[in-house]
Amino acid sequence: MDGVNARQGPVVVMTAGGLNPSIVVQHLVRAGIDVRVILENPESKGEIVRRRARRLGWINALGQLGTMIAARALRRTAERRVADLLDRHGFDRALPDSVPIHPVTSINAPQTAARVDELKPGAILLVSTRLMSARQLAAMPCPVINLHAGINPNYRGQMGGYWSLRENDAENFGATLHLVDAGTDTGATLYEVRTRPERTDFISTYPLLLTLAALDITRQSIEDALTGRLAPKATGGPSALRFPPTLWSWIWCGLTRRIW
């Protein structure tokens, strides 16, 4: 251990909730890591659509919303696969009762910075949150790490696993642990992992597959942060910010190429 750069304190997991963050927290707790959760309110669909419309136009934004709604409606179809994966890996759906949870409105709210000051974390992990603002990031007293369901830099943003398959790049169906900077998944990479979906997997199960595949490198990233052994490295190659496909594009690709 590098005594100069080692950090004491708990690990704060910031999340908007959901199955994947719950699995990550359970894994860290099982590894003997002291975890606290800062739970933000999820962004509303309206906020998301307006933000995308400003960037991509209303037609694309509404088309992406259609895919999000369809994917949510298909979660019942995914339920058997999800239940099998949870049973196989021994995870529950809920956060552990032993982990303190601190509700906030947003990870960018002043109350969040105040809570972090109280908790004095040795590391912060983002899992399924909105983007942390540059101002809030500058106020964080320790490394801030993100679990991203895609291989950076070509699959930044959302649905990285889906886009790797759609672009005939199945070898890069994977996840990245990276330091957070002011961009969207542009921070230096800590670790990567790749896996393979099964034929029954689709857009609603890809994120769970990638979360499960990334558990070990997530724990390793946290342990590196706490022991002063972080070794970030710059990534090369094409860089692209991804969004959910529009509904009509998703259906077309599913019907013609069986990539759902």
Over residues 6-65, the pLDDT tens digits come to 778 999 999 999 999 999 999 999 999 999 999 999 998 899 999 999 999 999 999 999
Average pLDDT over residues 76-82: 89
Contact (CB, 8 A) for 238 and 150: no
Token pair, residue 188, equals 């230096």
Q: Is 80 among the domain residues?
A: yes
Longest dimension (CA), the chain: 56
- Checking if the pLDDT of 1 tops 50, the result is no
If you compute the radius of gyration of the chain from its CA atoms, what whole number of angstroms results? 18
- Checking if the pLDDT of 2 tops 60, the result is no
Q: Is 4 among the domain residues?
A: no
Q: Is 109 among the domain residues?
A: yes
Report the 10 Å Cβ neighbour count for 32.
7
Structural domain range at position 194? 11-257
Q: Is 1 among the domain residues?
A: no
CATH of the domain at 126: 3.40.50.12230
Over residues 141-178, the pLDDT tens digits come to 999 999 999 999 999 999 999 999 999 999 999 999 99
Q: How many residues does the chain have?
A: 260
Q: Is the entire prediction scored with pTM above 0.85?
A: yes
Q: Where are the beta strands (DSSP E) in the chain?
A: 11-15, 35-40, 101-104, 123-127, 144-148, 156-157, 174-179, 189-194, 241-242
Domain total in the chain: 1
CA distance 52 to 244: 11
Q: Is 104 among the domain residues?
A: yes
Q: Can you say whether residue 128 is alpha, beta or left, with left for phi > 0 and alpha for psi between -120 and 50 degrees?
A: left
CA distance 244 to 260: 12
Over residues 128-150, the pLDDT tens digits come to 999 999 999 999 999 999 999 99
Would you state the pLDDT for residue 4? 53
Question: Quick one: which of 246, 250, 260 has its CA closest to 206?
Answer: 260
Would you state the pLDDT for residue 145? 98
CA distance 173 to 166: 10
